[in-house]
Amino acid sequence: MNVFLPYAIGHKVSRSDPAIETSDLAVAPAGVSQPILERITLRVPRGCRVALVGANGTGKSTLLKTLAGLLPPLSGRLQIAGAGTARGNPSIAFLAQRPSLEWHFPVTVARAVLAGRYLRLGWLRRPGADDREKALSAMRRLGLEALAECPLHALSGGQQQRVLIARALCQEAAVLLLDEPFAGLDSASRDILESFLSGDARHELTVVMSTHDLAEVEKRFDLILEIRDRRLVTLHSCTCGERSRETEEPPRRFA
C-alpha cells in the first residue's frame, strides 16, 4: 500500500522523499541581490536533527527563512518533503528568534495552539473534536496543559516559546525550523524543550536549529553544519545525516 502525507495542497508526497533537499542554492536577505550564502547542496533525511552554527551575520536566519518559504532563493533548487516551499505549506513550521507577535491579543494558550490546525482545515472549517484532541496532546507534550486557559500575555518568555512549538506540533508539521530557540529561556522551559526535541519528536519531526551553544552539540544533533565564507561546511555527520558536498572540518568557537 502506498502511503502519502498531505504536506501541500494538491501534492502527494512519498515517505521516501528526503525532508530537505537543495541543489546549488543561493540565498540573500530581503531586498538584497548578492548572495549571503551560495552553492548549497544538501540532502537531509526525515527525522534528522540538524544544527546550524556560525558567527553572527553569516546568514543562519536567512537560510532558515528561505527553507520556510518566507524568502525566495536567488537561484538553485529547494524542496521540502518532495514539494517546493510556499507560504501556507503545512509541512513546514518556522519559529523566529524574536517572533513578531502581539502577545497582548486576548487569546488563551489553548486557542493559540489550536490555531495550528487551520493550515490543515482552511479558515472556513471549524475545528472538530479530533483537532481539539491534537491541540491538547501538543500542550501535554510541551508542559502547557495546566496553562491552557491562561492568556498569552500572562506567560513567561519561555512559556510563550513553548506555545509556538506546541502550535507547530498541532499543525502536524514534518519539518521544524528553529532560530536560536533556547536564547533567553528560563531553565524549566529549556529542560522541557530539550526533552521534547530529544524524545519522541525526533521520530516524527525533522529539526533544523540555529544555535551558538556548542558545548554538547555533537551529542544532540545528527548533522552539524557551519556557515563559513558563504558556504556550508559539515562539522559532524552520523548515519542519520547525509553530508553536504562540503569538506568535513573540525568545529570552531564563535564570538
| Per-residue model confidence as pLDDT tens digits over 208-232 | 999 877 766 777 888 999 999 999 9
Three cell numbers written together for 176: 521544524
pLDDT (tens digit per residue) in 110-164? 999 999 898 788 777 888 999 999 999 999 999 999 999 999 999 988 899 899 9
- Give Cβ neighbours of residue 246 (< 8 Å, ≥ 6 apart): 231, 232, 233, 234
Terminal C-alpha separation, the chain: 51
Residue 252: per-residue pLDDT? 53
Residue 15 pLDDT grade (very low, low, confident, very high; cuts 50, 70, 90): low
- What does the pLDDT average to over 179-207? 84
- What does the pLDDT average to over 34-54? 92
Q: Report the distance separating Cα 131 and Cα 122, nearest Å.
A: 13
Q: How far is CA 48 from CA 19, 43, 198, 202, in A?
A: 8, 10, 11, 7
pLDDT (tens digit per residue) in 57-116? 899 999 999 999 889 999 999 988 777 766 667 888 998 876 666 677 789 999 999 998
Q: Report the distance separating Cα 31 and Cα 172, nearest Å.
A: 32
Q: Report the distance separating Cα 141 and Cα 88, nearest Å.
A: 24
pLDDT(244) > 50: no
Give the side-chain half-sphere CA count within 13 A for 149.
Answer: 0
Residue 14: per-residue pLDDT? 52
Residue 118: per-residue pLDDT? 83
Helix/strand/coil for 56: coil
- What does the pLDDT average to over 168-186? 89
Three cell numbers written together for 128: 472538530
Residue 215: per-residue pLDDT? 67
Q: Cβ of 179: how many Cβ atoms within 10 Å? A: 22
Q: Cβ of 48: how many Cβ atoms within 10 Å? A: 25
Q: Radius of gyration over alpha carbons of the chain, in Å?
A: 18
pLDDT(54) > 50: yes
Burial of 98 (0-12, 13-18, 19+ CB in 10 A): exposed
Q: Which of 208, 159, 221 is nearest to 185 (CA)?
A: 159
**DSSP β-ladder status, 175-179 and 49-53:** unpaired
- Give Cβ neighbours of residue 143 (< 8 Å, ≥ 6 apart): 162, 192
